[in-house]
Chain A
Amino acid sequence: MYDVYKIRRDFPILSLTINGKPNVFLDSAASAQKPSKVIETMHHLYMNEYANVHRGSYYLSEQITSAYEEARSRIHQFLNTKSDKEIVFVRNATEGINLVAATWGKKFLKAGDEVLISEAEHHANLVPWQMLRDELGITLKIFKISDEGEYLEEEYLKLLSEKTKLVAVTGMSNVLGTVFPIKKMAEQAHQNGALFLVDACQYAVHQKVDVQDLDCDFLVFSGHKLYGPSGIGVLYGKYNVLDSMPPYQFGGDMVDTVTYEKATFNEPPFRFEAGTPAIMQAIGLGEAIKYISSLSMENIFKHEQELTTYTTNALSEIKGLKIIGQAKDKGGVFSFNVEGMHPQDLAFILDKEGVSVRTGHHCAQPIVNRMGYESLARASLGLYSTKEDIDALVAAIRKAQKFF
């Protein structure tokens, strides 16, 4: 039994009031709130066990190194990777994608090669490829989705060819909520000899990820959207792919032996983790994963799917409101426009009612424009979201409508 009201008590911030109103937090897609367990673990370690990792052979350093590596191991289990050597700690998903572009991309791509992405990518999975295109003379191909935000297989296959060296797509759109059939897409990419990268920033938060089943070559996500701290993210890469890549940055920890003349480099994942890492954040992320695993990803998925249906119905009843992104397979992200009302105005009023939503282009300007807008409001669900949150959102939107 998934008792969401009980679960909410694990998130201290949710019991706060905002402008004297209950905290109706509907911006988890931007960053999720953290359970006490994550906050307390980090606090406890700073108070009792802090030192640098992979350094000293003394008690504190050994303790913290083992906690840090245990976090890596938790992520390895969470994603069902073959080994924990396939988990590279990065700052966030953005850095993970940049790392792939700068190392794998520069080594293996040459003029005439193609990188294929969808129309619905976050800037993080668009701009790095534009930069690489300008630098290397590769071609960036972008496959279309439907006006409803639906994935269109024929559009994908039309642009996939033996020239495609990498397909990089979001598992779930942060604007439209569309869930892409990444397992099948990866298989089709492989048939054409391309590697497959999943931007799992949203995807991994809402459903179980099994990288061996998906058979993707790379997968990235950000810890802060997965109920963990900010400043930590994960790049998964198949070991042989990671091992074929040159380092990203240079310095301590990523080297094997160093003389004044030259250096040899460590093996993955350490090759890609130059300098002192985000130690506490990595451990905090491990704790977040432990927490969500205790609730079970299947239960979270079920809860959110029910609430997604509830939200779709509730929002659809508001006159003049249009949900942007109505794919059949979609997660709990609702971008919408209310006729006669600018999203910014709407957000001001929702804020006064204690309802937090995001407005703007959501760092995915091209897809917002492609759907015909400059700016959209977006409500997004987390594992702690309730029908009451949605009722409060609906009431606040109706109240806002009276102003215009």
Chain B
Amino acid sequence: MTIEELIDNFAFLDGWEEKYSYIIELGSQLESLDESYRTEEWKVRGCQSQVWLEPQIKNGKIHFKGDSDAFIVKGLIAIVLMIYSDKSAQEIKEIEVEEIFAKLGLQEHLSPSRRNGLFSMVEKIKEYADALK
């Protein structure tokens, strides 16, 4: 699914209940993380739930896998990866993630004060992209 398709799908959802159910479903379909990456080293800082991120470089693009022990967070990770995965460093740099999250009505989840790890995950993705250049 592309992020545009996701935004379209979101438009059909009624209320936060349907939205959250859908997000949880997205999380359950997330490509699974290699067990060896579920470690401290690959953990993203965030205080309320655990979040892991695994970057793989393929043909100049970065493929990301992610996971969390919380289901809603995991669904939100699925969205973040839909936005960022398999892009070049330059493409990653140009993405306006806040804008996309606003379109989905999920902007509050990207706020640094939420401390759910999602904000830190986006920061981390940008760091990987910077390091690649």
- Write the residues of chain A forming the contact surface with B, with a CB cutoff of 8 angstroms: 19, 342-345, 347-349, 352, 359-361, 374-375, 403-404
How far, in Å, is B119 (CB) from chain A's closest CB? Answer: 14
Chain B residues with CB below 8 A from A359, complex form: 48
Q: Are A344 and B73 in contact (CB under 8 A)?
A: yes
Q: Check A349 against B48 for contact (C-beta < 8 Å).
A: no
- In contact, B71 and A342 (Cβ under 8 angstroms): yes
Known: A352-B16, A403-B20, A403-B21. A345 touches B71 (CB 8 A): yes
B85 at the interface (CB under 8 A from A): no
Total number of residue pairs linking A and B with CB closer than 8 Å? 40
- Tell me which of B16, B20, B21, B49 contacts A344 (CB under 8 A): B49
Instruction: Give the chain B neighbours of A349 by CB distance below 8 A.
Output: 20
B47-62 interface bits toward A, Cβ cutoff 8 Å, 1 = contact, 0 = none: 1111000000000000
Q: Are A343 and B48 interface neighbours, CB within 8 A?
A: yes
Interface contacts beyond A343-B48, A375-B48: sample of 10 additional A-B pairs, CB < 8 Å, sorted by A? A342-B49, A342-B70, A343-B49, A344-B73, A347-B48, A348-B20, A349-B20, A360-B115, A361-B47, A374-B69
C-alpha gap A361/B49 in the complex (Å): 10
CB closest chain-A residue, reference B47: A360
The smallest C-beta distance from A391 to any residue of chain B, in angstroms, reads: 20
B24 within 8 A of A: yes
Shortest distance in angstroms between B15's beta carbon and chain A's nearest beta carbon?
A: 9
Q: Are A345 and B21 in contact (CB under 8 A)?
A: no
In the complex, what distance in Å separates the CA atom of A349 from the CA atom of B23? 12
What are 23 pairs between A and B in contact, CB < 8 Å?
Answer: A342-B49, A342-B70, A342-B71, A342-B73, A343-B49, A343-B70, A344-B48, A344-B70, A344-B72, A344-B73, A345-B71, A345-B72, A345-B73, A348-B20, A349-B20, A352-B16, A352-B20, A360-B47, A374-B69, A375-B48, A375-B49, A403-B24, A404-B71
Minimum CB–CB distance for A364 against chain B, Å? 13
Question: Most chain-B Cβ atoms within 10 A of its Cβ — which of A348, A349, A374?
Answer: A348
Instruction: Please report the C-alpha to C-alpha distance between residue A380 and residue B69 in the assembled complex, in whole angstroms.
Output: 25
Which residue of chain B has the shortest Cβ distance to A399 in the bound complex?
B17
Nearest CB of chain A from residue B41's CB, rounded to whole Å: 17
Taken together as a complex, chains A and B put the C-alpha atoms of A231 and B71 apart, in Å, by 36
Q: Which of B21, B24, B71, B73 has the most CB of A within 10 A?
A: B71
Q: How far is the CA of A374 from the CA of B21 in the complex (A)?
A: 24
CA distance A342 to B70 in the complex (A): 5
- CB contacts under 8 Å to A, within B74-128, are 115-116
Q: Which residue of B lies closest to A374 (CB)?
A: B50
List the B side residues contacting A375 at CB < 8 Å: 48-49
